[in-house]
A and B are shown apart, each in its own frame.
Chain A
Amino acid sequence: MIVVENLHKTYSTGLGKKGKKGKGKGDGNHYGNGDGDVKALNGVTFRVNKGEIHGIIGPDGAGKSTLFRILTSLLLPDEGPSKATVAGYDTVKDFRQIRQIIGYMPGRFSLYQDLTVEENLNFFATLFNTTVKENYHVIKDIYGQIEPFKDRRAGALSGGMKQKLALSCALVHRPTVLFLDEPTTGVDPVSRQEFWEILDKLSEQGITILVSTAYMDEANRCTRISLMQGGRFMATDTPKGITESYDELLWSVEGERMPALLAELRVHPSVKTAFAFGDNHHVTVREGISVDALREHLTGKGFNKVRITPIEPTVEDAFMKASMEVLNGNE
């Protein structure tokens, strides 16, 4: 349903041009490529099958929104041998067709603040030559939750309700493909769960969904995911495939004085990485050390009641490993 090959996007920041080549001291472009340009997408390739929920997992600044804007035909990619199609339509040449069949919920709230809930929804339905009544069955689950407030101005809604209205508006013309750019950012864990339950229902109706998020725990709700950082896809697979291809020895370490314990783990020669993960630390170790040996070492350093267990990795573990490899490989 979505095919992307070797997609690039470079933004010119206007800095460092006028013959001032290279990274001059204090010219404010340390993070660019020296010409003042920023490479937002650096050769992205992936495809999404019909009816899938495909997650783009990555932090702010990874290039997620740029990718969404290109796929929704709102932004031109760099010229060159690349490909980006949605339902067979080219994102540059066939932008009219694409706009008919997609729904797009941008990261920033983009509805009319001065129109009421109902007026916003009617407006978007009319733009697509349809009516709320005709497609009510598509939006029923989500719109039903805010319908009691249909006469309230959109600007006066709470964050969670705005998000539900935005999704209703993106769905009201019954799109084939739905693009959701960070729909759950700043949303509490319970509301996030409810939001994903709605996405599951839309997916069952055959709607293909591309969704981006910075919350690693949401990765497991997707059919397949791509891990994104610095304009690149580090991996694309099912969440299970991602965690199964993780090839480190990973242990959970718990005990008293957790911050001090973390510092102690980091200086142990057999420990590769140690990170806090909620109530325990996740530690990757080199071959040859045993759980008992590490526990004894920690006890010797004054840490009592240490519990160490080999564990299965999460998507977050995989993400951190992949992003460290990118850092070490490139710089």
Chain B
Amino acid sequence: MGSVIEVKELTKRFGNFTAVDRISFDVKEGEIFGFLGANGAGKTTAIQMLCGISKPSGGTGRVAGYDINKESERIKRNIGYMSQRFSLYEDLRVWENIRLFGGIYGLPEKMIAEKTNELLERLDFESERNTMVKSLPLGWKQKLAFSVAIFHEPKIVFLDEPTGGVDPAMRRQFWEMIYDAAERGITVFVTTHYMDEAEYCDRVSIMVDGRIDALDTPKELRRIHNAASMDEVFTRLARQAKRVE
């Protein structure tokens, strides 16, 4: 199986502050990869480089087959992205959001129409086709946002805290959607502050002070750190941080 992300010594400096400090890792095709770290550990900066919206200060890498230093525009076309904060346009209807994002990613009109029907049917969402996104409950918005993020069938989708604030049952349904996507071959790169969700990942990395301090399966991380839960593993590593925010 090939790698969808491979980075070596990836670094980002702002002045004399090193936000991301020579991280190296790879993510395999179809994998669900959990990208954890405390606030201020450098996760967001790292994701921005992986998505092609921030230029690395050093290091090399490829995402979805394209060079992170030279082909950032191609990377943007071949990934999906969703965050808790920005995902959909509140003042557009459900179908309008789908059409907008399909258009942005260059899908032909006819294909968008067909895929929209298919998507709404699969989500059991046909009755909400004309609903304004702002009047949907948060859990539904997140489901729709995720579907829109993978509408153009990217090789990899980046999910930045997709389940923050979502109710417990909906949070689990969301993870079932992640599993479905992974089974269809879409690689999933996800950040979360819920440590139970770290258990649902194939592999997990934990960032501390700009570096990746641990990377393994959740089971193996628990074993290495002799911990009962991922929460314990995370707490132990994050408490070693020396960087003052």
Contact = CB atoms under 8 A, between A and B. Distances in A.
Given A158-B40, A160-B40, A28 B131 contact: yes
A319 B166 CA distance: 13
A276 B169 CA distance: 10
Nearest to B140: A31
A289 interface: no
Nearest to B137: A61
Interface residues of B, number: 48
A299 interface: no
B138 interface: yes
A232 to B, nearest CB: 13
A323 B167 contact: yes
28 contacts: A15-B135, A30-B127, A31-B135, A31-B136, A59-B138, A59-B167, A61-B137, A62-B167, A158-B39, A158-B40, A159-B39, A160-B39, A185-B164, A186-B39, A187-B39, A188-B193, A188-B238, A190-B234, A190-B235, A190-B238, A191-B38, A191-B39, A214-B164, A229-B167, A275-B169, A276-B175, A278-B229, A319-B168
Q: Sort A-B residue pairs by CB-CB distance and give the 10 closest, nearest first.
A: A59-B167, A26-B130, A278-B196, A60-B165, A278-B199, A188-B38, A158-B245, A190-B238, A60-B138, A214-B165
Interface string A148-181: 1000000001111100000000000000000000
B235 A189 contact: yes
A277 B196 contact: yes
Contact count band on A: 35 or more
B128 A279 contact: no
Contact of B168 (A15, A148, A192, A316): A316
Interface in B34-77: 37-40
B20 to A, nearest CB: 15
B164 A13 contact: no
Given A188-B39, A190-B38, A59 B165 contact: yes
Contacts, number: 115
Secondary structure class of chain A's binding surface, majority of residues: loop
B132 interface: yes
A320 interface: yes
A215 B127 CA distance: 31
B39 A13 contact: no
Contacts of A320: 168-169
Contacts of A188: 37-39, 193, 234, 238
B161 A186 contact: yes
Interface string B127-154: 1111110011111000000000000000
Nearest to B173: A275
